[in-house]
Amino acid sequence: MSNNIIGIIVGSLRKASFSKKLAKSISTMAPSEFEFKTIPIDDLPIYNQDFDDEDRVPESYVVFRNAIKAVDGVIFVTPEYNRSMPGVLKNALDVGSRPYGKNTWDGKPAAIFSNSPGNLSAFGANHHLRQCLVFLNVPAMQQPEVYLPDMKDAFDEDDNLKSKETKAFLHQAVDAYIDWFNKLT
């Protein structure tokens, strides 16, 4: 039986990103018959419809759109910027959604794992992202909702989660996503 491939998309570009550290943890939690693969969004120019309309699509768009087409589902790991998702993540959604009629996200089951250095857990980013996924026809896992607070002190010097409870919750959320994915597909 062929593996299901789940893309992990991180809504932060910074080197020491807590979201990147979480994504690294999540990528070790794939069960058998699943592969978790991080899809970078770092080098996507800001979406401009002229690129598609005038047939001068950046190579990085082609690579990204093909990467989304090649996965069966997506886990978004995102922080919050100004009570919404970071622009880089919204831009990745936009790039993957076009040209019109060729939405690469279409029908791919997703999970949203939001996090913050303090105690708010990026609720605003989580739910703005959910709003976009409705239009992109991406079913998003409802439960468990994954809000991860206090990431500032969550990792050791090797970028591993220090708290067994947080790691267990993350694992439980990944398992719930896989169960739900299997029911949908």
Residues of this chain that bind ligand FMN (CB under 6 A): 12, 14, 17-19, 79-83, 116-117, 120, 122
CA pair distance 85, 56, nearest whole angstrom: 28
In this complex, which beta carbon is closest to ligand FMN, that of residue 5 or of residue 38? 38
Report in angstroms how near the CB of residue 60 gets to ligand FMN at its nearest: 21
CA pair distance 162, 140, nearest whole angstrom: 28
Strand ordering across the sheet containing 146-148? 34-38, 4-10, 73-78, 110-115, 146-148
**Which amino acid is located at 68 in the chain?**
I
Report in angstroms how near the CB of residue 142 gets to ligand FMN at its nearest: 22
Report in angstroms how near the CB of residue 17 gets to ligand FMN at its nearest: 3
CA pair distance 172, 119, nearest whole angstrom: 21
CA pair distance 176, 99, nearest whole angstrom: 33
In this complex, which beta carbon is closest to ligand FMN, that of residue 120 or of residue 132? 120
As given in the structure block, the two tokens for residue 158 are 């090797």
In this complex, which beta carbon is closest to ligand FMN, that of residue 47 or of residue 155? 155
Report in angstroms how near the CB of residue 19 gets to ligand FMN at its nearest: 3
In this complex, which beta carbon is closest to ligand FMN, that of residue 6 or of residue 148? 148
